[in-house]
Amino acid sequence: MDKFTELRAQYDTFIYHGYTVTDEGFSFRFTIGEFEFAPEWKWNGLKIPADMDRELIDYVIFSIGMTELVSYWKCACPPRVIVKCGALDDERILWWKKLYWGGLGEFFYRNGIETDFDGFMTIEAENTAVRSFTDPYRGERKGALIPVGGGKDSIVTLELLKGMKADNLCYIINPRRTTLDCAHTAGYSDDRIVGLKRSIHPELLARNAAGWLNGHTPFSAIVAFSSYLAALITGKKYIALSNESSANEGNVSGTNVNHQYSKSTAFERDFREYCEKWLTVPPEYFSLLRPWSEWQIAKRFVTYPEYLPVFRSCNLGSKTDSWCGKCAKCLYVYIMLAAFLDDAELIKIFGADMLDSAEFESLFNGLVYADFDKPFECVGTRAEIRLALYNAYKRREGGKIPLLLRNYIKEEPDEPEGLDDHFDTDNFVPPELIGLLK
> Does residue 357 form part of some domain?
yes
Residue pair 325/308 in contact (Cβ under 8 Å)? The answer is no
Q: How far apart are CA 391 and CA 372, in angstroms?
A: 23
Domain count, the chain: 2
Residue pair 243/268 in contact (Cβ under 8 Å)? The answer is yes
> Does residue 335 form part of some domain?
yes
Ranges of residues in the chain whose predicted pLDDT is under 50: none
Q: Are residues 238 and 106 in the same domain?
A: yes
> Does residue 146 form part of some domain?
no
Position 1 scores a pLDDT of: 65
The tally of CA atoms less than 13 A away on the side-chain side of residue 423 is: 8
Measuring CA to CA, which residue among 285, 225, 279, 265 is closest to residue 66? 225
Domain containing 20 equals: 3-134+194-287
Q: Are residues 324 and 278 in the same domain?
A: no
Q: Are residues 130 and 11 in the same domain?
A: yes
At CA 378, angle to CA 373 and CA 384, rounded to 5?
75
Q: Are residues 8 and 90 in the same domain?
A: yes
Measuring CA to CA, which residue among 309, 352, 18 is closest to residue 182? 309
Q: Are residues 207 and 345 in the same domain?
A: no
Q: How far apart are CA 29 and CA 201, in angstroms?
A: 10
> Does residue 259 form part of some domain?
yes
At CA 25, angle to CA 19 and CA 28, rounded to 5?
25
Counting every residue written for the chain, the total comes to: 438
Position 138 scores a pLDDT of: 62
Report the predicted TM-score, pTM, of the whole model to 2 decimal places: 0.95
> Does residue 315 form part of some domain?
no
Position 137 scores a pLDDT of: 67
Position 322 scores a pLDDT of: 94
Q: Are residues 283 and 324 in the same domain?
A: no
Position 281 scores a pLDDT of: 85
Q: Are residues 365 and 281 in the same domain?
A: no
Condensed to tens digits (0 to 9), the pLDDT of residues 367-402 reads 999 889 898 898 999 999 999 999 999 999 999 999
Q: Can you say how many angstroms the Cα of residue 138 is from the centroid of all Cα atoms in its chain?
A: 29
Q: How far apart are CA 186 and CA 201, in angstroms?
A: 33
Position 16 scores a pLDDT of: 98
> Does residue 161 form part of some domain?
no
